[in-house]
Structure 1
Amino acid sequence: MKNLISFFCIVCFVGSYYTIQAQELASVSMEIPANYKKRNPIYDYSEKQLNNTDTVPGFETASNKLMVTGIIYEKDRKTPAKDVILYICQPDENGHFVMKRDSNRKRYVHHRAWIKTDADGRYTFYTFMPGKFLRTKELKQINRVIKVQGNPEYDMSPFFFDDDPLIADLTLACRSEVVKSMLRLDKKGTMQVATRDIYLSESRPEFN
């Protein structure tokens, strides 16, 4: 009789354990969207509540630190845009996109960050000057994606840099496009600082 009771207790314990495990796995799977690996990385932030300042991994040890800041405005070019999410990613200082995988096996660019504007519309990223491959004709750049509340996300023109020597080799038409999202750098202490406001339109952002 005692053996029967012991066996029954073990069966109940094992059954309860696997039930709990199944519930936890089901809970995790419900939290991960079906399109997780294919969706835009702008949705992959880990913070429960974003704010208007973020730091790209590697900033602290980078030799050429950079702060990019500004205000995102509504299409009237006067009203600060609240609750806009801005995502950036970039190469490392040698021009390589460092790729990693998260716990769900999704590949992502390691040097990335997100902000969400407050009522003042302000954003600030602490990062570093991206490098570029020596043998390519591609400009140094920081890639960006924006998400306005109630609308789908979309890619923005990258941030370019006014000190890039390859700008002189561009055609006039290309140069006029690059200027629209160009960062002008000022040295403040040990850090380069660039201020760039963003103006939203109905279809895509416009830049001053």
Structure 2
Amino acid sequence: MKNLMSLFCLVCFICFSSTITAQEFASISEEKPVDFKKRSPIYDYSEKQLNNVDTIPDYASKKNKLKITGTIYESDGITPAKNVLLFIHQADEHGNFELKRHNKKRYVHHRGWIRTDADGHYTFYTFVPGKYIYGNELKQILPIVKEPGKPEYKIATYLFDDDPLLNDKRSKVKRADVSNRILKLDKKEGLYVAKRDIVLGKEVIDSYAE
């Protein structure tokens, strides 16, 4: 009986791992996956070989260019995490999410993907998003993480040090509570530079506002 249970658990594990792997690499398959319209956008990259650097669409034409760098660590906060997918998308400089459509699926135009290298490093070339003038939302960049062999999950958004809402005493978001994800912009040769490190499993959230 114990042998049968062990065999059953092994088969389930193999099937689960195969499903995740197939989903991760479905984006580079010639055939459109059945769940294409419902699946997370983290799987919608088109490059066959992702690396640890990516550039957001329209980067060259944006005024407030931004370079974000960082290291993704395993849950111990020490070991660099390699082969981790990190996907981001964001609003434009006016605070609007520019939507486009591909194969009948809508997506945010300003987006990008990286896969960490052996040292866990990543870099995005993007721009500082604007704040939606009719809302009371923070300026933010929205990320999703995918560890090897595990389902994707959303993590806490990137915030900006100069956002007035972070300094507003009436705001529900307190600077002290989100200090680890605030980008402090340093301008060098016409380019803003900021850093954010990520520890896997430490900033998981169930949902985020777009």
| Range class of TM-score, shorter chain | 0.7 to 0.9
Counterpart residue number, 2:124: 125
Pair 60,174 (structure 1): closer, same or farther in 2 beyond 3 Å: same
Counterpart residue number, 1:55: 55
* Cα drift, residue 172 of structure 1: 8.2
CA distance, structure 1, for counterparts of residue 149 and residue 132 of structure 2:
38
* Cα drift, residue 170 of structure 1: 5.0
* Cα drift, residue 171 of structure 1: 5.8
* Cα drift, residue 204 of structure 1: 3.6
CA distance, structure 2, for counterparts of residue 69 and residue 204 of structure 1:
20
* Cα drift, residue 200 of structure 1: 1.5
- Structure 2's unaligned 5+ residue stretches are 1-28, 206-210
CA distance, structure 1, for counterparts of residue 68 and residue 184 of structure 2:
10
CA distance, structure 2, for counterparts of residue 135 and residue 59 of structure 1:
25
* Cα drift, residue 192 of structure 1: 0.5
Pair 57,174 (structure 1): closer, same or farther in 2 beyond 3 Å: same
Please identify, of 138-147 and 172-181, the stretch whose mean Cα deviation from structure 2 is larger.
Answer: 172-181
2:113 aligned with 1:114: yes
CA distance, structure 1, for counterparts of residue 69 and residue 46 of structure 2:
22
1:70-108 CA-partner distances (Å, limit 9, x unpaired): 110111211110000000000011111000011x12110
Pair 170,100 (structure 1): closer, same or farther in 2 beyond 3 Å: farther
Equivalent position SS for 1:130:
coil
Counterpart residue number, 2:8: none
1:34-87 CA-partner distances (Å, limit 9, x unpaired): 110010000000101100000000100000000000110111211110000000
Pair 51,170 (structure 1): closer, same or farther in 2 beyond 3 Å: farther
TM-score, L = length of structure 2: 0.79
CA distance, structure 2, for counterparts of residue 163 and residue 132 of structure 1:
12
* Cα drift, residue 177 of structure 1: 3.1
Counterpart residue number, 1:97: 97
- Structure 1's unaligned 5+ residue stretches are 1-28
CA distance, structure 2, for counterparts of residue 143 and residue 134 of structure 1:
18
Please identify, of 54-63 and 132-141, the stretch whose mean Cα deviation from structure 2 is larger.
Answer: 132-141
Percent identical across equivalent pairs? 55
Question: What one-letter code is carried by the residue in structure 2 that aligns with 1:118?
Answer: D
